[in-house]
């Protein structure tokens, strides 16, 4: 069952991975092989977890890449569901 208001996956990375290890964003970014700006944008909710980042997070902090991607998908789906009335499409029927 999906959460009604899941946290941004970047917050999970910060609160459950980076902070408990006493890492700075700079140290975590270096360990992940990404720029400080890239990781900062993720943990501040400005960008999501890409497949490449999911693999990096999996290798660095554990969990599967699929579980990291699943968190991102759940977050994205909950956000779009809030806007569902504003999404106008034409329904196509098969002949």
Inside any domain, residue 88: no
Owning domain of residue 24: 9-79
Q: Give the number of domains in the chain.
A: 1
59 found inside a domain = yes
Residue 51 within a domain: yes
Stated pTM of the model: 0.87
Q: What is the pLDDT of residues 10-38, one digit of tens each?
A: 999 999 999 999 999 999 999 999 999 99
Q: Predicted confidence band at 95 (pLDDT cuts at 50, 70, 90)?
A: confident
Is 15 inside a domain boundary?
Answer: yes
Longest dimension (CA), the chain: 60
């Amino acid at each position: 069952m999906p959460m009604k208001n899941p946290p941004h996956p970047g917050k999970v990375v910060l609160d459950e991975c980076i902070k408990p290890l006493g890492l700075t964003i700079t140290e975590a970014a270096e360990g992940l092989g990404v720029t400080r700006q890239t990781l900062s944008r993720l943990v501040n909710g400005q960008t999501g977890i890409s497949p490449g980042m999911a693999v990096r997070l999996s290798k660095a902090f554990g969990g599967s890449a699929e579980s990291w991607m699943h968190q991102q998908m759940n977050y994205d789906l909950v956000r779009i569901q809030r806007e569902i009335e504003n999404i106008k499409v034409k329904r196509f029927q098969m002949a």
